[in-house]
Amino acid sequence: MRLLARRADPGVPAGAGRRRRSRSVPSVAVLVAVALVAASCGARVPPYFPAAVASGAQSGTGATQASGPSGGSSQVASPAAGASAATGSGQAASGGGSQGGQVASKGPSSASGGGQSQVASGGVAALTPANFSYDPQTQASYCTGTAGNTASAPGVTASTITVGNVSGLTGAVSDSFTAGAQAVTAVFDAINRFGGICGRQLKVQVEDDQQSSSNNAADVQYLIPHVLAFVGSLSDADNGGVNAMVAAGTPDLGPAININRSNSPVYWSADGGSVTVKGGQAYVGDAWINGMKQYGAAPSNICVLAYNIPISAQAGQEYTTLFEKEGIPSPYQDYNVPPAGAGTVMSSVVSTMQQKGCTGVFTTMDVVGNDAMMQAMQNQQYQPKLVGTTYEGYTPDQISTSQGAAAYTHLDVFLSSVPLSDPVPGVQEYQQEMSTYEPGQPPSEFGLEAWDDAELFVYALLKAGRNPTRQSLTSALEQVTNWTSDGAFGPYTPSNRTGPPCVTNVVVQGNNFVETWPPSGLYCNNTYVDVGPASG
């Protein structure tokens, strides 16, 4: 489940002060020069989060074998069932079995693209999610030359393919949503260096919606006639352009935040969207709670804090319901924290949580709000067993901003992927491409997801034929099952349009995040639990 931190005023007039940003493709000479410079400095740089596992993780004895279908397609609990027994993937990302929902991590491979098996013969027709290589040179080699290329669809010419990206590059949340466009650009630039796909250069045209839903709608409408699809868009205002994309039948691949985008018929995700909607009810995965219970990290009760903006408050309410259905009562909730003045109220909020006897705290706030809360906890010497937040807190900024308070409170963050410190090929390929083609831009969980969606687009583009259309691209996406991003995420089928099936947990220790559970790989003991009527 993806949560926004703050939303700009949705009433901002469409296009007001909007910046149009079209990413041009660098020349091959420039790309080679950049690659050589990056290589000389260590292109495959170590992730900025260290590869370490906290010593307190339990072995998971007594865990039951995950009994769900292979491929990580988690079960959706019926509204009447509430917190039913969780079932998840019984298949490891590397093809082996799993215990207690834990998916074994793939180890590093000697192959430059992450070790996926190569297609010896049969060309594109033989490609599957299991043998697709994430190496950009190999991807370019699947379809070469320009003979037979035509202008087959919007955004497709004989020599180029253009996609759109509408992201909240500016607005109330600073630097939270720039990672999407950066990741897509890195993937495309890497492939273009080796000739592109079917001889076509890949381009991304980026629009800044300023985190306004009205701007988002206007930007999407503007781009639709000029692009084959949307890839990697990342904004807390991503609800704005959904209707236009549906009406035009334009595929949309990217990390969804709002519910209507995540459940749109033209939406596709490589690793899971936002809240799942079935029969008008909202469903949220419980893998994080199940993992906390298995590894002895669950609090006896939990207080929930959210900003006083609709999507943050809604997420807070949904998680409160989820916790209570999973047997963790919530003695106190505050869904009215002001985004611009969290520090002015947090001392009182923390004092109230102490009085209520909260042994756990969970927030849907951003770096600033979490920092204000942790500073107040440190000042009042209040240290609950668990202080958790969503993966928007998985950033060095959360540690540096909090000036030690994050370590004092042992801030936990649950992720939908393995940590960025994990040696699995998918994570390493993402970081290598970022360091080479977006030097100086830090990797992040949002960026890894957008990179994953860009790779899914490349796979579907190849399967869509030499002269792709929106329909052939959609047909290719409909056939994708058990996508794992070379071990970065749990096996996922995009047409399911559910939330992510697997999680890991990291905690701030000193100046770093370290993984606390599972001991390795991913934890996939997950059920999607009914948390009330869907809205938004």
Three-state SS sequence of 352-415: HHHHCCCCEEEECCCHHHHHHHHHHHHHCCCCCCEEEECHHHCCHHHHHHHCCHHHHCCEEEEE
pLDDT tens by residue, 426-461:
999 999 999 999 999 988 899 999 999 999 999 999
Q: Judge whether 381 lies within some domain.
A: yes
Q: Do 408 and 453 belong together in one domain? A: no
Place of tokens 């098996």: 117
Looking at residue 80, its pLDDT comes to 34
For the chain, the first-to-last Cα distance in angstroms comes to: 14
Report the C-alpha gap between 183 and 448 in whole angstroms.
Answer: 7
Report the C-alpha gap between 311 and 282 in whole angstroms.
Answer: 13
Q: Judge whether 149 lies within some domain.
A: yes
Pairing of strands 160-167, 201-208: parallel
Range of the domain at 182: 121-274+423-496
Looking at residue 535, its pLDDT comes to 76
Looking at residue 121, its pLDDT comes to 52
Report the C-alpha gap between 242 and 264 in whole angstroms.
Answer: 7
Q: What CATH number does the domain containing 459 carry?
A: 3.40.50.2300
pLDDT tens by residue, 222-234:
999 999 999 999 9
Q: Do 357 and 434 belong together in one domain? A: no
Looking at residue 174, its pLDDT comes to 67
Cβ neighbours of residue 11 under 8 Å, at least 6 residues apart? 214
Q: Do 507 and 367 belong together in one domain? A: yes
**What are 482's two structure tokens?**
């058990």
Q: Judge whether 482 lies within some domain.
A: yes
Helix (H, G, I), strand (E, B) or coil at 338: coil
Q: Judge whether 163 lies within some domain.
A: yes
Q: Judge whether 52 lies within some domain.
A: no
Residue-level length of the chain = 536
Q: Do 255 and 356 belong together in one domain? A: no
Q: Judge whether 110 lies within some domain.
A: no
Q: Do 231 and 247 belong together in one domain? A: yes
Q: Do 291 and 149 belong together in one domain? A: no
31, containing H or E segment:
helix 28-40
Q: How far is CA 226 from CA 150, 152, 181, 244, in A?
A: 15, 12, 17, 14
This prediction's pTM:
0.81
Give me the number of domains the chain comprises.
2
Looking at residue 396, its pLDDT comes to 82
Q: Which string of DSSP letters, residue by residue, matches 107-148?
A: PP-SSTT-SPPP--SSGGGG--TTT----HHHHHHTS---TT
**What are 151's two structure tokens?**
């202008």
CA angle 31, 33, 34 (to 5 degrees): 65
Q: How far is CA 453 from CA 29, 228, 262, 276, in A?
A: 27, 15, 13, 18
Q: Do 223 and 136 belong together in one domain? A: yes
Report the C-alpha gap between 525 and 513 in whole angstroms.
Answer: 23
Q: Do 391 and 429 belong together in one domain? A: no
Q: Judge whether 455 lies within some domain.
A: yes
Report the C-alpha gap between 199 and 264 in whole angstroms.
Answer: 32
Q: Do 390 and 448 belong together in one domain? A: no
Report the C-alpha gap between 293 and 291 in whole angstroms.
Answer: 5
Q: Judge whether 378 lies within some domain.
A: yes
Q: Do 155 and 302 belong together in one domain? A: no
Q: Do 404 and 455 belong together in one domain? A: no
Q: What is the pLDDT along the chain (536 residues), one digit of tens a residue?
A: 554 433 333 333 334 444 454 444 443 333 333 333 333 333 323 333 443 333 333 333 333 333 332 333 344 443 333 333 333 333 333 333 333 444 444 333 333 333 333 454 568 999 999 999 999 999 999 999 999 999 999 999 999 999 999 999 998 776 779 999 999 999 999 999 999 999 999 999 999 999 999 999 999 999 999 999 999 999 989 999 999 999 999 999 999 999 999 999 999 999 999 999 999 999 999 999 999 999 999 999 999 999 998 888 989 999 999 999 999 999 999 999 998 888 999 999 999 999 999 999 999 998 889 999 999 999 999 999 999 999 888 888 888 889 889 989 999 999 999 999 999 999 999 999 999 999 999 888 999 999 999 999 999 999 999 999 999 999 999 999 999 998 999 999 999 999 999 999 999 998 889 999 999 999 999 999 999 998 76
Q: Do 373 and 447 belong together in one domain? A: no
Cβ burial of 495 (10 Å; 0-12, 13-18, 19+) is exposed
